[in-house]
Amino acid sequence: MKVRAIQFSPALGNIEKNMEFHVAKISQAIRDGRELIVFPELSLSGYQLKDIACEIALKKDGPVWREIAKLSKKIDIIVGAPLEEDPGLIYNTALYFAKGKWRHTHRKVQLPNYGMFEERMIFKPGDEFRTFKIGTMTAGILICREILFPMLAYLYFIQKTDLLIGISNSPQRGIGKDGISSFQLWETMGYVFSQFYHQNYLFVNRVGFEDGIGFGGGSFFARAGQGISRKAKYIDEDMLDAEIQSADVRRARLSSNYLRDEQPELVLREMRRILHA
């Protein structure tokens, strides 16, 4: 599968302008023969939504929803958006469209609410990590802070996920002698997911500034069993192309046998013991 990740700076609260950008990039990807295009977390809205979230949240089968579905007739699409599924309840979501229809919604479970983050003041958390199909591949999605909880990627691992997609609005933080620590953090997780969970992993982060917060970019693709093979620029807008092959997953599983030897029943039993100790 030929995949394209779009690393850019959304216009805060301006759904119309962001849709124009999405349409242009989707159209270009179709011309370039890409099969899947992935945008960052909250790509249709920007991040620091605060009290405007209720005004701009997407509605299922609304005009923006229908336009994205129409565009997906020629290319599979993943976008990030605030979604109001029930009156007054808004989720931070990743939406997957393919063959002219909505196919899957992932609702962000881990909502950061400390320091510069205020997501629990805006969104209702999701409560599940379900796989879905992208072509012949089993896929899963994580949104930003969820990526930093290895157990959540593990839930996809034991569901035999071939392609894990992480979309993010990660600030650039922690400048030290080895560079910006936030970049190192995301890339470390990419190595873990590809090497130990046998997943092809695509990380798509945004750039730009909102309310004094700078977002770092650094999107990348980590090939199953091999680690990071392609990287986008730090800080600046960029586009990342990758080709994903299910055969890489098979080779990774055969070489390490982690999935063969995994014991989810033991993990479940121990979790129950620990929780009820």
List, for residues 43-99, the tens digit of each pLDDT value: 999 999 999 999 999 999 999 999 999 999 999 999 999 999 999 999 999 999 999
- What are residue 172's phi and psi, to 5 degrees? -90, 120
Mean pLDDT value of segment 195-211: 95
Give domain limits for the chain: 2-275
Mean pLDDT value of segment 242-269: 94
Say what the pTM is: 0.95
CA of residue 96 relative to chain centroid, distance: 11
Tokens of residue 170, six digits: 């990660």
Say whether pLDDT at 109 is over 90: yes
Architecture of the domain whose range is 2-275: 4-Layer Sandwich (3.60)
The pLDDT value given to residue 176: 54
The pLDDT value given to residue 212: 84
Longest dimension (CA), the chain: 58
- The candidate with the shortest Cα–Cα distance to 263, out of 148, 142, 154, is 154
